[in-house]
Each structure stands twice: as C-alpha cells, then as structure tokens.
C-alpha cells in the first residue's frame, strides 16, 4: 500500500470539507485505491477551527516553510482562494518538489502561466479540476476525453450563486435585491457578492475552460463580462411567456472569424438542456466536431462537491507518474495571432417603453431595419406604467454593434426608450 501525505492550506468551507472526506474515507481509499491518504499537516491560523475538525495539535503547521520541508508531505492542497498569499505558497510548494492540487480559480486563471512553469521545472504535478464547476468533471473531460475534438462552442452555467438567484426570480417574480438578500441569509451568496453577481467568478472559470477547449490562452481580461445586477423580474416574466429561460451564461466560441468569450445574462430556449439547470446546479454544454453535443451537469460549488474534485485529483496524482500536462499553449498573454470577436452574432431581446402608441411600432421597426436588424417576434404588452407601453421584440441573428447602434437611435427618438437588451442564445 502506498502512503500519501497531504497538507491542506486553509480549513474554510472547502478545506474543512476536504479534511473530513479524507478522514472519513481513509479505509475506503485503502481498500479500493491501495492508498493510505493521511493529512500530515494543515495551515490554518484559526486554531479553534482546526481543533473543531479534530486536527491534532501536532499537525497544525507554524508556517508554509514547515510544510515545504516536511518529508511526509507529498501533495499540497491549496483551498485558500484569492491570489495572495495562495500564489506565494503554491510556488513555494512546487519549488520544494511537492505536487499541488488547487481549487483556486482566480489564482489559476491569472497565474497559470507562472504556476505551470514552476511545476514543469520541478517535475511536480499541478491539478486544478476543483477550480472550475465544483464536482462536475469538466477539466479532465477536456484534457483526457474530448481532446481529439475541435471544440467549436462551450456554453456554461458555471456560477451557482447567480443561477440560484435567477431561478428564484423566475419562480416567484421577486426582485433581484430581495432574492440576493435571501441568498445571503442561506449562505448561497457572500456578504460581498460582487465576484459572483458581476460575473467575475464565471469569467475566471471561462478563461480556464475556454483556454483548454481552444488550446490557446484566453485571458479573463479579454472576456466580455456583464453581471445580473440589472436584470429585472419583468424581463424574466416576458421571456418566460415567449418560451425562454434567463441564465447567466459563460459562452466560448471558436469559429471562422475568431474566438468569442463572454459572460452575460442571456435567454435560452426552454427546450435546451441548459434551460432546466436550476438552483445551485451548474452545467457545461459543449459542441465538438467529432463528439457532437455533450453536457456535464452537477453541483458547481459547496464543500463536498468541490472536495470530490480535490480528492479525485489527489488520488490521480498519487497513482500516476509525476508529470505536468499543459492543457493549452499557456502563454502569459493571449497569443498575438488570436483574433477575439467582439462584434459577435446573436439574437436579441429588446424591451422598449413606448410613449405613444400610434406610430411607435413603425418608427421602431424602421430604426431596426435601417440598422440591418429584422424581427422574429414582436409583442405589444397591454399593461404599462405612466403611459408607457412595453414593447417586447425578439430579433433574428444580428451583430452586437448593430444592436448598440439601433438602441442609441431608438433612444434618440422622443417616443421610445430601450429599457432592456438581453442576448438570446439559439
């Protein structure tokens, strides 16, 4: 039986969950994987927290140097989150010859170039399945299963907090701010929800996943990002009537014109498998030129699902020779040859407040038409406030810039104002 010593950096929600699972499953891993996985050390300033988990005092490290020089530690699990001190610690671990398993999407997204270099130099493993979409086996699917495909499209619901909020808004018709408060109470959203609700978290993950899918670095700074803070429940309602579900989507496309990478709220047809991914569930829907459509679905966050991915990486690391696999051409910045498409094609949902019934529809359609936009559906709602009549339009596929121009043109008229623009994924 092979003995595997691990150290856990940070005993927060995920770190604590990982500690518990490793302790409770020790015999299971002995029996089924011929591995005796032992937590040899933890790095946690909150001693009470470590003790509450049952960590022996002798295993609470005084600092990172102690862990790096501990010959009983083979694999270091980094679950601290954030860039520093996680980055310094991971580099120290790799330079000390320890393999690293991390759930840190922000760190990996921003510094994978540096981390991979250090891992290669020291011939250490560097595993990050837990960094994206929790327990959903997406990283290894990209590296070890679908790697024979040219992936043309990747659409993901990869943030649990926003999906929970949008699901609740969709079911109950409550306003964003009320649902956010409820989500914070239940622990589904953090006290400072910015990273989730503004789409940063999804953009970090999309950066990692699309880099792997398209075999070239997609920095998160090249990802168009728009959060859910200005989503109104009336748009969710109107969309539902038209057969759409509203989701915060992370979209990566690799086509003839270049690469698109964007995170924004979008309507998706109710029949699409992603439309019924609800609450805190996540899913990634991929299209490959050989495999066709594949969807991976599961819990994208939470202690145990994330720990499942971490422990999977630990067992993988312990049972395979120490190698570093570059899943993509991991340059520091985007390769200069990569063309990012910002004027992408999409259908659009427009909600327009029309001040005056007579003639307004013809005026609006004329503006759209001048911008080369044709309409698939138009619904003129009965109810309006303060004399404004809501006009809901679904366009055919058009270009982002054409819609921006058309919206400006409509707003420049004195009879109509565009109050919501939401992309529609076909």
User: Active-site residue numbers?
Assistant: 205
Residue 74 binding its own copies, by CB under 8 A: no
Residues numbered 275-294 forming contacts with its own copies, rule: CB under 8 A: 276, 288-294
**Contact pick of 2, 121, 150, 370 for its own copies (by CB under 8 A):** 150
User: Toward its own copies, which CB reaches closer, 157 or 309?
Assistant: 309
> Which residue, 28 or 237, has its beta carbon nearer to its own copies?
28
Counting contacts by CB under 8 A, is residue 149 touching its own copies?
A: yes
Choose between 146 and 350: whose C-beta lies nearer to its own copies. 146
Rounded least distance, CB 425 to its own copies, Å: 18
User: Which of 243, 323, 333, 370 is close enough to bind its own copies by CB under 8 A?
Assistant: 323
The pairing of strands 398-399 and 281-288 is unpaired
129 contributes a contact to its own copies by CB under 8 A: yes
Stretch of 296-304, 372-380, 399-407, 417-425 lying at the interface with its own copies (CB under 8 A)? 296-304
Cis-peptide, bond into residue 74, ω within 30° of zero: no
325: left (phi over 0), alpha (psi -120 to 50) or beta: beta
Q: Is 215 in the site for its own copies (CB under 8 A)?
A: yes
Q: What are phi and psi of 134, to 5 degrees?
A: 45, -120
Instruction: Give burial (CB, 10 Å; 0-12/13-18/19+) of 352.
Output: buried
Question: Site mask, its own copies, residues 82-121, x = CB under 8 A?
Answer: ----------------------------------------
Q: Which stretch binds its own copies (CB under 8 A): 136-144, 182-190, 228-236, 245-253?
A: 136-144
Query: With binding defined as CB under 8 A, does residue 132 bind its own copies?
Result: no
Q: Which stretch binds its own copies (CB under 8 A): 100-108, 176-184, 222-230, 318-326?
A: 318-326
Sole binder of its own copies in the list 15, 125, 199, 305 (CB under 8 A)? 305
Q: Which is nearer to its own copies, 242 or 291 (CB)?
A: 291
Single out the segment in contact with its own copies by CB under 8 A; choices: 67-75, 146-154, 218-226, 400-408. Answer: 146-154
**Taking CB under 8 A as the rule, does residue 63 contact its own copies?**
no
426 lines the binding site for its own copies (CB under 8 A): no
Site for its own copies contains 336 (CB under 8 A): no
HSE of 417, CA atoms in CB hemisphere, 13 A = 6
> Which part of the chain contacts its own copies (CB under 8 A), choosing from 170-178, 197-205, 307-315, 368-376?
307-315
Q: For its own copies, what does the binding mask look like between residues 11 and 50, x meaning CB under 8 A?
A: ----------x---x--xx-xxx-----------------
Residue 266 CA to residue 247 CA, distance in Å, equals 6
Given 56, 72, 144, 356, the residue binding its own copies (CB under 8 A): 144
The 240-279 contact track toward its own copies, x by CB under 8 A, reads: ---------------------------------x--x---
Label each residue of the chain as H, E or C: CEEEEEEEECCCHHHHHHHHHHHHCHHHHHHHHCEEEEEEEEECCCHHHHHHCCCCHHHECCCHHHHHCCCCCCEEEECCCCCCCHHHHHHHHHHCCCEEEECCHHHHHHHHHHHHHHHHHCCCCEECHHHCCCCCCHHHHHHHHCCCCCEEEEEEECCHHHHHHHHHHHHHCCCHHHHHHHHHHHCCCCCCCHHHHCCHHHHHHHHHHHHHHHCECCCHHHCEECCCCCCCHHHHHHHHHCCEEEEEEEEEEEECCEEEEEEEEEEEECCCHHHHCCCCEEEEEEEECCCEEEEEEEECCCHHHHHHHHHHHHHHHHHCCCCCCCCCECCCCCCCCCCECCCCEEEEEEEEEECCCCCHHHHHHHHHHHCCCCEEEEEECCCCECCEEEEEEEECCEEHHHHHHHHHHHHHCCCEEEEEEEEEEC
Of these, 10, 160, 252, 312, which contacts its own copies (CB under 8 A)?
Answer: 312
217 near its own copies, judged by CB under 8 A: no
Binding site for its own copies (CB under 8 A): 21, 25, 28-29, 31-33, 129, 134-137, 140-141, 144-150, 215, 273, 276, 288-299, 302, 304-305, 307-309, 311-312, 314-316, 319-321, 323, 325, 329
């Amino acid at each position: 039986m092979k003995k595997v010593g691990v150290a856990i950096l940070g005993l927060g929600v995920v770190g604590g969950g990982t500690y518990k699972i490793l302790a409770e499953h020790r015999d299971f891993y002995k029996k089924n994987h011929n591995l005796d996985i032992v937590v040899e050390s933890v790095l946690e300033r909150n001693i009470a927290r470590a003790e509450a988990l049952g960590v022996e005092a002798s295993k609470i490290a005084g600092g990172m140097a102690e862990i790096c020089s501990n010959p009983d530690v083979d694999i270091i699990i980094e679950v601290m989150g954030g860039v520093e001190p996680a980055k310094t610690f991971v580099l120290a671990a790799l330079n000390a010859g320890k393999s690293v398993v991390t759930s840190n999407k922000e760190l990996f997204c921003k510094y994978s170039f540096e981390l991979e270099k250090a891992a290669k130099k020291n011939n250490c493993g560097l595993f990050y399945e837990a960094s994206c979409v929790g327990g959903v086996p997406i990283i290894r699917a990209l590296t070890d299963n679908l790697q024979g495909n040219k992936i043309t499209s990747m659409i993901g619901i990869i943030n649990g907090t926003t999906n929970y909020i949008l699901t609740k808004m969709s079911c109950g018709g409550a306003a964003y701010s009320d649902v956010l408060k409820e989500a914070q109470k239940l622990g589904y959203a953090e006290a400072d929800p910015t990273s989730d609700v503004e789409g940063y978290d999804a953009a970090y993950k999309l950066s990692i996943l699309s880099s792997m899918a398209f075999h070239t670095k997609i920095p998160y700074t090249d990802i168009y990002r728009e959060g859910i803070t200005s989503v109104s429940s009336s748009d969710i309602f109107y969309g539902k009537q038209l057969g759409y579900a509203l989701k915060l989507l992370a979209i990566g496309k690799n086509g003839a014109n270049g690469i698109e990478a964007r995170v924004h709220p979008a309507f998706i047809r109710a029949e699409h498998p992603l439309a019924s991914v609800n609450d805190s569930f996540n899913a990634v829907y991929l299209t490959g030129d050989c495999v066709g459509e594949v969807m991976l679905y599961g819990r994208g966050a939470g202690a145990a699902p994330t720990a499942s991915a971490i422990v999977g990486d630990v067992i993988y690391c312990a049972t395979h020779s120490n190698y570093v696999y570059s899943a993509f051409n991991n340059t520091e910045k985007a390769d200069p040859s990569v063309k990012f498409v910002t004027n992408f094609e999409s259908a659009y949902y427009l909600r327009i407040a029309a001040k005056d019934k007579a003639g307004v529809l013809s005026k609006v359609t004329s503006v759209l038409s001048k911008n080369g936009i044709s309409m698939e559906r138009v619904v003129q709602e009965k109810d309006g406030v303060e004399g404004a009549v809501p006009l809901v339009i679904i366009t055919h596929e058009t270009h982002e810039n054409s819609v921006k121009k058309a919206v400006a043109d409509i707003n420049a008229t004195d009879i109509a104002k565009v109050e919501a623009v939401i992309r529609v994924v076909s």
